[in-house]
Amino acid sequence: MKKIVVCVSSDLATDNRVLRHCELMHDTGFEVLVLGRKLPSSPPMPKLPFASRRVELPFTKGPFFYISFQLWLFFILLFRQVDIIWANDLDTVPPCFAISKLRRLFFTVDAHELFTEVPELQDAPIKKLIWSIVEKHLAINADIFLTVNHSLARYFNHKYGINARVVRNVPKRIKLPDAYTKMDQGLPENDLVLVIQGSGINKGRGLDETIDAISPLIGISLMVIGGGNAIEDAKRKVAELGMENKVHFIPRVTYQEMMRYTQIASIGLAYDADPCLNFQMALPNKVFDYFQAGIAIISGPQPEISGLVASYECGYIMKHITPESIRWAITFYQKHPEILETHKKNSKKASETEHWENEKVELESILNTLID
């Protein structure tokens, strides 16, 4: 049985994409170990059919985090019996690349975003240069390079001439748990409920603009489910504006629990305000979660998201991400409940096609090649 070690810098307990991939690796016949980190706020790990290990470091961000995490990965991989090293994103690539060359192991890179174009690096030229070097000289030299949507695949092909395989971050088609009710969460029964969710609700992802948009609106409640560096500022803003009864923050929870909350909503929000290239090319998994929950979607002009919304006629596509545009879209649905119901039904229909059982075929093809 071939041994594969999957490395990721995220909190494993809520990284459903990585856990789905690892489960398929296990089912294909690999002995799997997934390595990640544990944060002070991390929920317990779900029960898994494969091995996992999380490290709790004294640093949670910044250069000291990256250095300490990569050193930990390096020494784990150095002494671990392994055939294939699978690096998720650039921040795990240096130790994975080094060990793969040192021990002559098969090396795969799975890029779930355009790491060099995230907002946090746009005003940090030295950091951006370092990660660009990692991308150009290490990551693209992987034996297999895959990413999460066709826009990113085209980007890597155009820039480096590589053939990036595409496996989108699509959830399993599951029997959803019973939804919470508005009463359970203290939401007014007649309110139109919006949701924005994800483990990376960071600055530039539209939360600030959304709070401004709904501030003057009546009959609106917003649920913010998950974590990210925009949450604390958003909480302060909500308190300053006296909107505690309108905006409800829910911390990171397991996927099943998250979907119990998501199903309360009628509209899922999927847009980014920052014009950075990474956000413009993104296809966040929350879009597919909204399909599963059967809720309409308000999106921005990003091609991967808006293309799905337009294809399935399940939401409203904004040309610009401003508080005014968001407010107009929400008000449109308040005034046209019949259109909202149609879009919700179409979203649910989309979930019959957009699910992991269809999407995993490409990853199965890759894994079968590796195991042979």
Residue 185 lies in a domain: no
Same structural domain, 245 and 223: yes
Residue 196 lies in a domain: yes
How high is the pLDDT of residue 46? 86
How high is the pLDDT of residue 71? 95
Same structural domain, 132 and 238: no
Same structural domain, 107 and 226: no
How high is the pLDDT of residue 225? 96
Same structural domain, 129 and 199: no
Residue 72 lies in a domain: yes
**Token pair listed for 111:** 């890029």
Same structural domain, 157 and 221: no
Helix 16-28 / helix 361-371 crossing angle, nearest 10 deg: 50
How high is the pLDDT of residue 62? 84
Same structural domain, 215 and 263: yes
Residue 178 lies in a domain: no
What whole-number distance in Å separates Cα of residue 35 and Cα of residue 255? 19
Burial class (CB in 10 A: 0-12, 13-18, 19+), 224: buried
Residue 180 lies in a domain: no
Residue 14 lies in a domain: yes
Residue 55 lies in a domain: yes
Domain membership of residue 246 as a residue range = 192-350
- Per the CB < 8 A criterion, the answer to whether 371 and 29 are in contact is yes
Same structural domain, 245 and 337: yes
- Per the CB < 8 A criterion, the answer to whether 277 and 114 are in contact is yes
Residue 186 lies in a domain: no
| Positions in the chain short of pLDDT 70 | none
Same structural domain, 214 and 104: no
Same structural domain, 211 and 156: no
For residue 28, give the DSSP letter.
H
For residue 158, count other CB atoms closer than 10 A to its CB.
9
Cross-strand partners of 209: none
Number of domain units in the chain: 2
Same structural domain, 202 and 158: no
Same structural domain, 160 and 241: no
Spatial neighbors of 207 by CB under 8 A, at least 6 apart, are 196, 201, 224, 230, 231, 234
Domain containing 44 — which CATH number? Answer: 3.40.50.2000
Same structural domain, 299 and 346: yes
What whole-number distance in Å separates Cα of residue 260 and Cα of residue 87? 31
